[in-house]
Amino acid sequence: MPAMRAATVRDGEILIEDHPDPEPGASELLVRVHAAGVNGADIHQRAGRYPAPPGSPQDIPGLELAGEVAALGPGASRFSVGDRVMAVVGGGGQAELAVVHERAAMPVPVALDWPQAGGFPEVFTTAHDALFTQGRLSPGERLLVHGGAGGVGTAAIQLGRAAGASVAATVRNEELRPAVGELGAEAVEPEGFERYGPFDVVLELVGAPNLPANVGALATGGRIVIIGIGAGAKGEVHLGALMGVRGTVRGAMLRPRPLEEKALAMRLVEKEVLPLVERGEVTVPVAETFPLDRAAEAYDRFAAGGKLGKIVLLP
């Protein structure tokens, strides 16, 4: 049986092991992976805190990938063998081969090379969904992005700017603030960020410690969208302050959603974001790339922080 190599979670570590080649089922694509982004969910999965959803490989991490279609499953018709595609998957992306449902895949724009394409799908789909579907961000509004130097943060800043919003972003590493500013945000220190408000939408990528100040920084009718809790999952909210501004707090996760919802989110990205990529109005900052053999090193680099944009594996 042919064997592929893949990053593999074993007892809290990332190893490179052989696995049987996956086979595409109905409406699925077999993709030869050229690049796969590393995300916070992978770090949590390595530590045993975030298992893959049912139906996805439980021991091969990776939520996003880009590569060439190697084979078509029965009934698959959106793409052809040889097409460049990128996709959000429940797991299994950090491997030489991966199976992707055709509706979970997007075409790779000519403007993106493989590392950029591998770091695009999860963060841009997450950011677009959080800002516009969940947060209802509109032109002329004020947006605050916490964790502005990370993958989702850099995506959200660019999407907010492209939509005509005024964007501020918290960036802990002072050296990265000029680069974040070039993406279209006023880069500010995390401490005391509320003095830059009020904000119509707050995108929370850090976690619970920011919650009280987020509420205090809301404009009337403001929306807090929580999509990251790395710094803590439990916090206190002053309900009176939230009521006073008629504010909303909501959370969102992309990974556990059913295929139908993921497909809808990606169709919106195809329609509204890929044209921006083609015109050069949106870029995918890649901080560093690693070959698959150095996956554990890539995870450590991600966990260390202090980077601008994505860490990407190149199988």
At residue 81 the predicted structure's pLDDT band, cuts being 50, 70 and 90, is very high
* DSSP strand pairing (286-291 vs 310-314): parallel
* DSSP strand pairing (142-146 vs 97-101): unpaired
Average pLDDT of the residues in 253-275: 95
Per-residue pLDDT, 57? 93
- What are the CA-CA distances from residue 155 to residues 126, 205, 217 (Å)? 9, 12, 22
DSSP state of 56: S
Kindly tell me if the per-residue pLDDT of 143 is higher than 90. yes
Task: Give the domain CATH number at 86.
Answer: 3.90.180.10
Whose tokens are 């987020």? That residue is 214
Q: How long a stretch of residues is the chain?
A: 315
Residue 266 lies in a domain: no
Residue 264 lies in a domain: no
pLDDT digits (tens, 9 = 90+) for 216-245: 999 999 999 999 998 899 999 999 999 999
Q: What is the pTM of this model?
A: 0.95
Residue 256 lies in a domain: no
Percent of the residues in the chain that have a pLDDT greater than 70, as a whole number:
100
pLDDT digits (tens, 9 = 90+) for 177-221: 999 999 999 999 999 999 999 999 999 999 999 999 999 999 999
Whether omega before 198 lies within 30 degrees of 0, making that bond cis, reads yes
Residue 261 lies in a domain: no
Residue 219 structural domain: 124-251
Residue 260 lies in a domain: no
Identify whether the C-beta of residue 237 lies closer than 8 Å to the C-beta of residue 215. Answer: yes
At residue 2 the predicted structure's pLDDT band, cuts being 50, 70 and 90, is confident
Residue 111 lies in a domain: yes
Task: Give the domain CATH number at 173.
Answer: 3.40.50.720
Residue 269 lies in a domain: no
**Number of domains making up the chain:** 2
